[in-house]
């Protein structure tokens, strides 16, 4: 039986990955900051699906938190076959309105943690000749959306570059770029969502199903919905100056997750 490690597992996309992977028979390692919620989630998934569930309390905005999870990923005696780097957050406000400490915390979680955890996981996976990593980015990676979009653009570029370097090793890497998903993401960041049209919202469980299908097919980039695939096609041919004006008017703070 294979084991999947999921960061940010207690809510939103991370919780959807946990539900789906447990239902498919994978043992789980759940990572988040809230120990109580982790144990509640672990008990529910174990009782419902009969899989083994391990919990790791870690704050990926800290070196200690990253090192704790990296050590678990490096454990050759209890290997992790699939890593879902999902932990992330948004800051409310435009550039220079957000405190520098909060901007740096975002880069720590979205970039440094993703780099270090992906490296720990893939090194062990390459030795075994198999494994997979899904790094959750966002369609915000493709439009000018401040530090959030920039950090997610880094995730996409890093993941696709690493996937190319590891081609033929048996290790697959994929950047997942969802649009707006109904989760706790915006509420936690204190962001309103009234200006987002209903058709732009995605279901987390359907999103995860599409993402896992794309990973199985060997894709290094997944935009798992026809609506957003069409939007990203438009983005590619839209002048950057015009695109920047549009995203500024629609509210740079509303980063999808």
Q: What is the CATH number for 143?
A: 3.40.50.720
The percent of residues above 90 in pLDDT, for the chain, comes to: 72
The answer to the question of residue 256 being in a domain is: no
What is the per-residue pLDDT for 179? 83
- State the total domains in the chain: 1
Q: Helix count (H) and strand count (E) of the chain?
A: 10, 9
pLDDT band at 202 (very low <50, low <70, confident <90, very high): confident
Average pLDDT over residues 3-22: 97
The answer to the question of residue 255 being in a domain is: no
The answer to the question of residue 257 being in a domain is: no
The percent of residues above 70 in pLDDT, for the chain, comes to: 80
- pTM comes to 0.87
What is the per-residue pLDDT for 117? 98
Burial of 249 (0-12, 13-18, 19+ CB in 10 A): exposed
Mean pLDDT lowest among 87-101, 182-196, 224-238: 182-196
What is the per-residue pLDDT for 180? 79
Buried b (16+ CB within 10 A) or exposed e, 187-206: eebebeeeebeeebebebee
Told to judge if 148 belongs to the known catalytic residues of this protein, a careful annotator would answer yes
Q: Is the pLDDT of residue 235 over 80?
A: no
The answer to the question of residue 111 being in a domain is: yes
Question: Among 95, 148, 228, 254, which one carries the catalytic annotation?
Answer: 148
The answer to the question of residue 243 being in a domain is: yes
Q: Is the pLDDT of residue 241 over 70?
A: no
The answer to the question of residue 69 being in a domain is: yes
Domain membership of residue 61 as a residue range: 3-250
Average pLDDT over residues 102-121: 98
What is the per-residue pLDDT for 3? 98
What is the per-residue pLDDT for 197? 55
pLDDT band at 92 (very low <50, low <70, confident <90, very high): confident
The answer to the question of residue 139 being in a domain is: yes
The answer to the question of residue 118 being in a domain is: yes
Q: Is the pLDDT of residue 82 over 70?
A: yes
């Amino acid at each position: 039986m294979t084991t999947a490690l999921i960061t940010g597992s207690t809510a939103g996309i991370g919780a959807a990955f946990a539900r789906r992977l447990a239902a498919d028979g994978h043992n789980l390692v759940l990572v988040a900051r809230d120990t109580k919620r982790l144990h509640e989630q672990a008990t529910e998934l174990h009782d419902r699906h009969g899989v083994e569930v391990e919990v790791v309390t870690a704050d990926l905005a800290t070196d200690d938190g990253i090192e704790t999870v990296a050590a678990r990923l490096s454990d050759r005696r209890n290997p992790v076959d699939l890593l879902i780097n999902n932990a992330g957050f948004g800051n409310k406000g435009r550039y220079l309105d957000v405190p520098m400490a909060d901007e740096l915390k975002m880069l720590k979680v979205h970039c440094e943690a993703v780099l270090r955890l992906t490296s720990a996981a893939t090194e062990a996976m390459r030795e075994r000749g198999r494994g997979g990593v899904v790094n959750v980015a966002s369609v915000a990676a493709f439009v000018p959306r401040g530090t959030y979009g920039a950090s997610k653009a880094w995730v996409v570029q890093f993941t696709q570059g690493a996937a190319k370097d590891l081609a033929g090793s048996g290790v697959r890497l994929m950047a997942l770029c969802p649009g707006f998903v109904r989760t706790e993401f915006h509420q936690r960041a204190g962001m309103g969502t009234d200006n987002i049209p209903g058709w732009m919202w995605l279901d987390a469980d359907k999103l995860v199903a599409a993402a896992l299908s794309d990973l199985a097919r060997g894709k290094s980039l997944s935009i798992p919905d026809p609506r957003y695939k069409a939007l990203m096609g438009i983005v590619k041919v839209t002048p950057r100056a015009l695109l920047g004006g549009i995203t500024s008017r629609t509210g740079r703070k509303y980063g999808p997750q």
